[in-house]
Amino acid sequence: MPAADSSTPPLRPATIAVTAGRPPHTPDEPLNVPVTMASTYVAGGDLEYGRYGNPTWTAFEDALGALEGGRALAFSSGMAAITTLLDLVGHGGSVVAPRHSYSGTIAALADFEARGRLRAQLVDITDTEAVVKAMEDDEDCALLWLESPTNPALELADVATLAEHAHRLGIQVVVDNTFATPLLQQPLALGADVVVHSATKFIAGHSDVLMGALVVGTDAAEVHAALKGRRDLAGSVPGTFEAWLSLRGLRTLHVRLERASANAAELAARLREHPAVDDVRYPGFGAITSLVVHGGADAADRLVRSTALWVHATSLGGVESTFERRRRWKLEAATIPEGLVRLSVGIEDVEDLWEDLRGALDRLV
């Protein structure tokens, strides 16, 4: 990206997504950073070995960091990023986290707790006073873990208020921003210390990559160094081609998210009127919505087996529309309704999506 002087106005997010992490505008040089397939570098520089860095990772990290307003580190998966963060919690420390969270996060917390590494308090993240009290009552609390919206209940947390109280108590704040993406929410600006992304989802956007990322503030050099050191030691680094694909996906995040979000909002409104639907959960933004099917697990299972366009699959954030009954997974919270189906809305024509979904719902009535 060309250098900007002090008179250049700040770029808007859609422009950053397209331009950040590019090579200089040099005649006859490529527009994109190439895929650098290297495990070993000539000695005498900063890289030395393939586990410590790669120019293709750096381009992705520069672009995502610019969108989030911080410094990014790429990881081999979202779970690699999550467990790296949790591994930095000291022995005997505790983590306050949403009771409705990504099931991988809940599983990781349970695993760390079972091994005596930390304690986890799972709370209703929408109850700000209760979350603050949970932190105040636990003198060992080291980390407040937030999702907003939560997965799959789509609840919203007051990130700014909770971050303010956490910092007053000397507690670090992490926000999983996978659902909102940096285009709809920038947690660092709301007071978070670290942002988590499963780049597998909306950032890469085509259901063909496993990758994760962490982002810290531009002034958090010590935290960045600790996270990078842990990544280097554990070897939880991304593949070079995966990093290149994720950066390529990031370039179109704004147009994909705009279309998918419009589709999701329209579908949520229509689903509220359907007699086979007991409840619709939609936070008012983004491309994820959840519905609770009348008739519980059996009806929800029949729904996800009865469509032509909607694909019954886990994960989310691709260009295609997918859905699944979340309680089919043993790790899903028991407070999630048996009939809850999470929809990851894609970029297809909304009328085709609705006709397919409505037809399947009609057969349940």
Domains of the chain (ranges, CATH numbers): 13-84+138-145+158-250 (3.40.640.10), 253-362 (3.90.1150.10)
Q: Which helix (H) or strand (E) holds 240?
A: helix 240-250
Query: Which residues are the active-site residues?
Result: 51, 102, 176, 201
Mean pLDDT, residues 46-74 taken together: 97
Identify the pLDDT of residue 340: 98
What does residue 200 show for φ and ψ, rounded to 5 degrees? -50, -35
Q: What is the pLDDT of residues 258-303, one digit of tens each?
A: 999 999 999 999 999 999 999 999 999 999 999 999 999 999 999 9
Length of the chain in terms of residues written: 365
Q: Parallel, antiparallel, or unpaired for β 311-312 and 322-325?
A: parallel
Determine the longest span between alpha carbons in the chain, in angstroms. 70
Helices 78-87 and 103-114, interaxial angle, to 10°? 30
Q: What percent of the chain has pLDDT over 70?
A: 98
pLDDT band at 315 (very low <50, low <70, confident <90, very high): very high
Q: What is the pLDDT of residues 237-261, one digit of tens each?
A: 999 999 999 999 999 999 999 999 9
Q: What are the DSSP calls for 104-165, one per residue?
A: HHHHHHHHHHHTTSEEEEEE-TT-HHHHHHHHHT-TTEEEEEEESS-TTT-----HHHHHHH
Which residues are CB-neighbours of 129 under 8 A, at least 6 positions away? Answer: none
In the structure encoding, which two tokens stand for residue 364, read together? 């349940």
Q: What is the pLDDT of residues 335-354, one digit of tens each?
A: 999 999 999 999 999 999 99
pLDDT band at 9 (very low <50, low <70, confident <90, very high): confident
Q: For the chain, what is the mean pLDDT?
A: 96
In whole angstroms, give the CA distance from residue 158 to residue 146: 10
pLDDT band at 5 (very low <50, low <70, confident <90, very high): low
Identify the pLDDT of residue 178: 98
Tell me which residue of 143, 37, 126, 35 sits closest to 89, measured CA to CA.
Answer: 143
Q: What is the pLDDT of residues 94-134, one digit of tens each?
A: 999 999 999 999 999 999 999 999 999 999 999 999 999 99
pLDDT band at 8 (very low <50, low <70, confident <90, very high): confident
Identify the pLDDT of residue 359: 98
In the structure encoding, which two tokens stand for residue 77, read together? 């998966």
Q: How far is CA 321 from CA 315, 343, 361, in A?
A: 11, 7, 16
Q: Assess contact for 342 and 149: CB atoms under 8 A.
A: no
Identify the pLDDT of residue 275: 98
Q: Assess contact for 140 and 94: CB atoms under 8 A.
A: yes
Q: What pTM does this model have?
A: 0.95
Identify the pLDDT of residue 94: 98
Tell me which residue of 279, 353, 275, 280 sits closest to 311, measured CA to CA.
Answer: 353
Is residue 305 helix, strand or coil?
A: coil
Q: Assess contact for 209 and 245: CB atoms under 8 A.
A: yes
Q: Which amino acid is at 245?
A: L
In whole angstroms, give the CA distance from residue 224 to residue 311: 38
Identify the pLDDT of residue 2: 52
In whole angstroms, give the CA distance from residue 180 to residue 303: 26
Mean pLDDT, residues 184-205 taken together: 98
pLDDT band at 14 (very low <50, low <70, confident <90, very high): very high
Q: Assess contact for 285 and 257: CB atoms under 8 A.
A: no
In whole angstroms, give the CA distance from residue 94 to residue 71: 26
Strand partners, 277: 293
In whole angstroms, give the CA distance from residue 76 to residue 139: 33
In whole angstroms, give the CA distance from residue 66 to residue 13: 9
In whole angstroms, give the CA distance from residue 206 to residue 204: 6
In the structure encoding, which two tokens stand for residue 134, read together? 């949970």
